[in-house]
Amino acid sequence: MATVSDVMNNLSSLNIEEMIQDIVKDDSGTLLDIQKEQLMAGQDNEGNPLTPSYRDDPFFKTLEAAQRYSDWKDRITPPTGTRAYSERPKGTPNLFINGYWQSGIKFIPENGLFENDNPLNTEIKPKYPSSLGLNPDGIKYYRDFYFDEKFFGEIHEKTGL
């Protein structure tokens, strides 16, 4: 049976920052999936709908043209809920047509940021500057279903707590 002194020594030997970096690096693919789900839900990195909406997008010369495009987008990518996010409101962009732009999204574990090196990003990033980065719902989902179990499991494994 471990003494209080043993537990304190085990805890003080933990490198929490390294543990977190290792878990996040191992979960890079999961984090990328959650980011893409967030975009499909039409949400930015603060949990707000991506704006401009189709009806407010200056690209469209008329409201009718915007509505036709919005209706078409809702047909090709129906607004459905995901594991982490509620259903995308109709008329809200999800920055997806054929997956080309989203295929350029990368998660950089060293800094915890999402980047997109796709050539289309030069047009999309200025229009939707808050599109990349997990919002509070995505972070909560990641912690609840992935991170916490690994993090606390590793602490238990190393300390017996």
68-72, 85-89, 136-140, 155-159: least confident range? 155-159
Q: Is residue 29 part of a domain?
A: yes
| HEC string for the chain | CCCHHHHHHHHHCCCHHHHHHHHHHHCHHHHHHHHHHHHHCCECCCCCECCCCHHHCCCCCCHHHHHHHHHHHHHHCCCCCCCCCCCCCCCCCCCCCCCCCHHHEEEECCCCEEEECCCCHHHHHHHCCCCCCCCHHHHHHHHHHHHHHHHHHHHHHHHCC
Please give the residue range of the domain that contains residue 125: 18-159
pLDDT at 130: 97
Domain count, the chain: 1
Q: How much is the pLDDT for 1?
A: 60
Does residue 13 lie in a domain region? no
**The pLDDT of residue 14:** 87
pLDDT, residue 128, reads: 97
Q: What is the pLDDT of residues 65-105, one digit of tens each?
A: 999 999 999 999 998 888 899 999 999 999 998 999 999 99
Q: Is 43 within the bounds of a domain? A: yes
pTM for this prediction: 0.91
- pLDDT for residue 30: 97
Q: Is 9 part of any domain? A: no
Residue 105 belongs to a domain: yes
